[in-house]
Amino acid sequence: MADRSVGVLAELPPVPPTALGRRSAPAPTRGGEPTVRRRLLAAVVDQSSVVGFHQVKVSDLCGLCRISRRTFYDYFPDVEQLFVAAYGELDRELRRDVLRAWTAGDRDPAAALAALVAFAAADPVRADAYFVQALAAGLAVADRRRRTLEWLATLMAPDAGDRAPWAVEIACGGVWDVIRSRVAAGDVSGLRRDAAALVAAAAGR
Amino acid sequence: MPAPPALERNAPADRREGLTASRRRLVGAVAALAPERGSRRPTVARICKQAGIPKDAFYDAFPDAEECFSVTIEDALEQLWAIIDAAVAEAEPRWESRVTVAVSTFLAALDADPGRAWLCVVEPLGDSRRADHARTRLKERLVALLRGEPGLDGDAPSRTSAVGTVGSLWELAVQHVTGQGEELGVDEIAGSVTFLALAPRIGRTAAMQAVFTAPRPSELTVVWPADREHDDG
């Protein structure tokens, strides 16, 4: 298992050098411009990463998106709900990447974990919003985060049915915490460097 | 067996002595407000009301709310370590005993005070700066405890393994404190994490025995140092 996981990681593509490192699909547009909703979703991810979720202000988001406060409240009741929506998008992206890797790897748990690590390493801004700022945004995000962890554990133990064994869930929690710590410390390159050992340790349990 | 050198005893008490009276009241107010907070942190006005001091006094004590939160979280984490450290010091001087006591005490302390539990376990996760550094300090102390000192029988867990185990404990604690997950009782978390920490070094049978004889978090009585100071007047 450990050797396979290292092999999977060795085949990961390099980090794409984009402005924000964001590699998600282009936002839906109207007349060539991202919609207000898409701009707000992107802005709250960026701002959370730069100043921390607790310091994100509606006025700053409006300035970044060049919209009025009234327009903001046409879309979201507050910053929390905006972040919950943005987190949901990131979560869907993560699940898509992990599921693709897991399926392509013939249901290999190490492939799924490697995709998780790659998601975190690919884009520091997105990773900070997803792994670090998430729990600052309240229980709605905490619930979604927990469900993703449980889902990840089911990929680690595909023959266990709807609920993975405790030990597998615990191992997934450990990987998640390590990833979060590295992202919070701004040590994404270190995460990528040590990913093989991390995945091997978790997959080998 | 000598006491583990990695444990820094009494540092929390020293730090608490550095807090002025008004700072302590404000820190206590933030801790008291933690259970009722939504996703937004309480305002300076709300903290002052809880502490029973005027707003001017707040800014004499702290430059801004952010600093107050950071100090509160750091203080809570230091108290948590003080609780664990004291319990480990009284445990049998065997590696597996210290590990089981540390895990059980960590979880029992969280259950004893939901407000400080939130401040210690959840709040730093949404903060990539000072609070998270304080969390990292505590995690490193737990990692050192798990790895044990050289000379013990069996291979010490690798750093990666120990970091992963502490991370697992933390993540399960998050789910417990946030009320997520139906089966996440502290006793079950303690048993699972302790077994995973011990089994690679002392074997599954011995690890199982250690789990069964370990103190259950739900049966431990924990008093946080700040509350003890309060009780002492």
Cα-flanking dihedrals φ and ψ of residue B160, to 5°?
-60, -45
* Partner B contacted by A48 (CB < 8 A): no
CA B79-A55-A83 angle, to 5 degrees, is 105
pLDDT in tens, B191-201: 988 988 888 88
Question: How many CB atoms within 10 Å of residue B93?
Answer: 12
Nearest CB to A137: which of B39, B180, B193?
B39
CA distance A117 to chain B (A): 14
Nearest CB to A173: which of B125, B136, B171?
B171
Q: Do B39 and A139 touch (CB under 8 A)?
A: yes
With 50 as the cut, is the pLDDT of residue B213 above it? yes
Which amino acid appears at position A122 of this protein?
A
pLDDT in tens, B17-68: 545 788 888 888 888 887 665 556 788 898 999 899 888 888 888 888 888 8
Residues of A in contact with B181 (CB under 8 A): 146
- Quick one: which of A179, A56, A43, A54 has its CA closest to A124? A179
Residues of B in contact with A180 (CB under 8 A): 125
pLDDT in tens, A99-116: 999 999 888 888 888 899
pLDDT in tens, A10-69: 333 333 333 333 444 444 555 555 799 999 999 999 999 888 888 899 999 999 999 999
ipTM: 0.70
What contacts A62, CB < 8 A, 6 or more positions away? A68, A69, A71, A72
- Quote the mean pLDDT of chain B: 81
Q: Do B167 and A177 touch (CB under 8 A)?
A: yes
Cα-flanking dihedrals φ and ψ of residue B223, to 5°?
-115, 125
Q: Do B125 and A53 touch (CB under 8 A)?
A: no
CA distance A16 to chain B (A): 24
Cα separation, A88 vs A130, in Å, equals 9
- Quick one: which of B92, B103, B113, B100 has its CA closest to B177? B113
* Partner A contacted by B38 (CB < 8 A): yes
* pLDDT at residue A67, rounded to an integer: 95
Cα separation, A125 vs A132, in Å, equals 10
